[in-house]
Amino acid sequence: MTISVIRTFILYIAVMLGLRLMGKRQIGELQPSELVITIMFGNLAAVPMQETGIPLINGIAPIITLVFIEVMLSAISLKSKRFRRFISGSPSIIIRRGEIDLKELRRLRMSMDDVMEALRSKDIVNIDDVETAILDTDGEICIVPKAAKRPLTPEDLALSPKEEEMPYTIISDGRIITDNLNKINKSEKWLMGEIKKKKLAIPDVLLANYTRDGKLCFKKKENNN
């Protein structure tokens, strides 16, 4: 049993490293080849985890091989459009200029229920409101509503709002995040001074954000106990 536990740790690390090496896409929407590899990962790790008679390397070697295949496929796909189309397929337009492409739907073996479900998930209940719908290679349906039905944007109102940039978090749960403090070229001494002005101490601060326009916003910890 101890061996199984140790093997589980090792295989977990191997699978995690593999997924990290394959990049962020692997944990988000998956392309067909990525889905295949992710499913295989689970099985490859599970068998040597339980069967202590199987050498650990028999689980790790195929995982390394799969990571290599996936990384190589991605690298070649980046260079060649034809190869990318062969591996991942190409997006399919299922609604074009408001007209449903029934031939394409049949080819994709998609029912109208599937289309309506996808529309509802994008807050569209009437199919007449859709200008274009594209089924992407990762299975996600991208919907472009008709111009009159899309949400209003500041551009429609001839407004030019100021760009909002992400603030830097400099204190999180009573701890100073030195990396972010360095990014805004401020010292801990400065931060302490600012906190003192608010009659607080670092451990009392739940969150402190520094905005791009130089504002420091504090959120105090609540004493619930």
Partner 1 sequence: MKGTILTCFIFAALILGMIFAQMSLEKAGDEMTKPLDALTSAVDSDDWETADSVLKDLSEKWAENDKWLAMLIDHGETDLIITTMSEISQYEKYRDKPELMANIETLRELLAHIPKKERVTLENIF
**Interface residues with partner 1 (CB under 8 A)?**
21, 23, 52-57, 61, 64-65, 67-68, 71-72, 75
Which residues, 6+ apart, have CB-to-CB distance to 67 below 8 Å? 18, 21, 22
Kindly state the smallest distance separating residue 43's Cβ from partner 1, in Å. 18
* Shortest distance, position 180 Cβ to partner 1, whole Å: 24
For partner 1, the closer CB: 24 or 189:
24
* CB closer to partner 1 out of 73 and 133: 73
Q: Which is nearer to partner 1, 24 or 103 (CB)?
A: 24
The token pair at 169 is 């978090």
Nearby residues of 7 by Cβ (< 8 Å), 6 or more positions away: 48, 49, 52, 56
Please identify, using beta-carbon distances, which residue of 53 and 161 lies nearer to partner 1: 53
Assess contact for 163 and 148: CB atoms under 8 A: no
> Minimal distance in Å, beta carbon 40 to partner 1?
16
State the minimum distance, in angstroms, from the CB of residue 179 to partner 1: 20
Query: What is the C-alpha end-to-end distance of the chain, expressed in Å?
Result: 42
Token representation of residue 224: 């619930």
